[in-house]
Structure 1
Amino acid sequence: MEEETKPKILVVDDEEDLCEILKFNLETQGYDVTTAYSGEEALEKDAASFNLILLDVMMGGMNGFDVAHRLRANEETRNTPIIFLTAKGTENDKIMGFNAGADDYISKPFSIREVLLRIKAVLRRSHQPKAEQKERHQLVFNKLIVDLDRKTVSVEGQDVDFTKTEFGILCTLLEQPGRVFSRHDLIRQIWPMDVIVSDRTVDVNITRLRKKLGPYSDNLVTRLGFGYYFDA
């Protein structure tokens, strides 16, 4: 692999020994690796220049969730892939991680082989699929196809009628599979600002959307107390 084509990875963890172990193994696999030992130090780096960020959650000072929120709020790093590394592996912790903008979540202790496989998978998803979707202007999951130009939805080869609101919700969830959107998130993104919308209205639209998705209805998941997400 030529030097200029090496994917650049930023490893952020307050355990310096772990940083060095990850750096050594990643560089052995052909990655260009930079380390940071705190969230504050990570934000001082040129984060936009990295292809992926491995980010520890539990650090002294600024934690990984806060760092991720800062990166996602910046236009230049909004789409930079982030993989969380953390000893906190409960379901709620993972939900918090994905809501903070994570592309993947690896619980400690982990094997180096697992980390390498996850990195390859995230880099592959973050580049090739987006380029394909941009070229064909579609969101695709198996035989569920959303045509963004024609504003149509096809389920198992059959066109299904969706309202503008249902179409907007489906697109929002499909564009970021795995991310939990609260009712407030969906209201803010789908409905006009001058329209008053209740949580019940969101629930009704989700119910209608599930019915129209047919065999993919179970992929539209309710996370009680949090919101909704598309499980891909």
Structure 2
Amino acid sequence: MNTNRILVVDDEEDLCEILKFNLENEGYEVDTANSAEEALKLNINSYNLLLLDVMMGEISGFKMASILRKDKKTANIPIVFITAKDTENDTITGFNLGADDYISKPFSIREVISRVKAIIRRTANTTPQDNTEQISFNSLVIDTIKKRASIDGNEVSLTKKEFEILLLLLQNKGRVFSREDILSKIWSDEVYVLDRTIDVNITRLRKKIGDYGKYIVTRLGYGYCFEYE
């Protein structure tokens, strides 16, 4: 049985109940809320995943996600938008808000369950195995609780994906990760992402961490690793 907790937020009560029933059958603990206002009264940071409808009352799913991303306690909780708004601009807006996935209505329950499992599996894989709060290399420090990276005590501004890539490589010094490995661990395997996306994120990450960028080594034909003498 899974111990992961999921919050479903949608103004369609019937849909909430259907999702709740099917996700609970998969072993998840599921709560529902019929508005963002109702959801925000809950202890959001106790959930492992949020399923948010976009088109709700005064506070839309997008607005709720923005609120959560600005709060350190809830900034890194995985979010999946479930919505009838499926234009390219809507999808881009969702991902720019830090969404982990975007499912368009109508959808199959099997599809939702598959994506939920993929995201929870991925986020579990990026959790430090020894539950330490900090991982460091010289003056480069990653705070796994606050989700921040710093060099010489100065915070480095990283996107969520850049942070997770750095964490993955630093946690596994010397291990080479292929692009496919990184995609499966950092991106949901239900989202289509080009290999080039990995290269772009690595390039930006190297620049942001300055002299430490040289330790992110490219192994041609294999992938990337954090390597030092």
> In which range does the TM-score fall when normalised by the shorter chain?
0.5 to 0.7
Which of residues 57, 68, 71 is equivalent to 1:71? Answer: 68
TM-score by length of 1: 0.60
Specify the alignment match of 1:142 in structure 2: 179
Question: Deviation at 1:142?
Answer: 2.0
Summarize the Cα distance change of 1:117–1:77 in structure 2 as closer, same or farther, 3 Å threshold. same
TM-score by length of 2: 0.60
CA distance in 2, matches of 1:213, 1:8: 39
Question: Deviation at 1:170?
Answer: 3.6
Q: Structure 2 unaligned segments of length 5 or more: list them.
A: 130-167, 183-200, 210-217, 222-229
Which of residues 82, 87, 91 is equivalent to 1:85? Answer: 82
Summarize the Cα distance change of 1:46–1:169 in structure 2 as closer, same or farther, 3 Å threshold. same
CA distance in 1, matches of 2:16, 2:180: 42
Q: Structure 1 unaligned segments of length 5 or more: list them.
A: 146-165, 173-189, 192-211, 216-232
Specify the alignment match of 1:203 in structure 2: none
> Which amino acid is the alignment partner of residue 88 of structure 1?
K
CA distance in 2, matches of 1:144, 1:36: 35
1:109-124 aligned at under 5 Å gives the runs 109-124=106-121
Question: Deviation at 1:129?
Answer: 3.5
Summarize the Cα distance change of 1:34–1:168 in structure 2 as closer, same or farther, 3 Å threshold. same
CA distance in 1, matches of 2:114, 2:72: 28
Question: Deviation at 1:42?
Answer: 1.0
Specify the alignment match of 2:123 in structure 1: 126
User: Is contact 2:176–2:219 with CA below 8 Å preserved after alignment?
Assistant: no
CA distance in 2, matches of 1:51, 1:72: 14
Question: Deviation at 1:130?
Answer: 4.6
CA distance in 2, matches of 1:143, 1:105: 21
CA distance in 2, matches of 1:139, 1:11: 37
Q: Deviations over 1:86-144 (max 9, x none)?
A: 10112211110001110000000000000000000000111113537152258945289
> Which amino acid is the alignment partner of residue 124 of structure 2?
H
Which of residues 20, 23, 26 is equivalent to 2:20? Answer: 23
Identity %: 54
Q: Deviations over 1:62-108 (max 9, x none)?
A: 00011111111111111111110010112211110001110000000
- Secondary structure at the residue paired with 2:126? helix
Cα RMSD after superposing both structures = 3.2
Q: Deviations over 1:182-226 (max 9, x none)?
A: xxxxxxxx59xxxxxxxxxxxxxxxxxxxx9999xxxxxxxxxxx
- Name the count of aligned residue pairs: 158
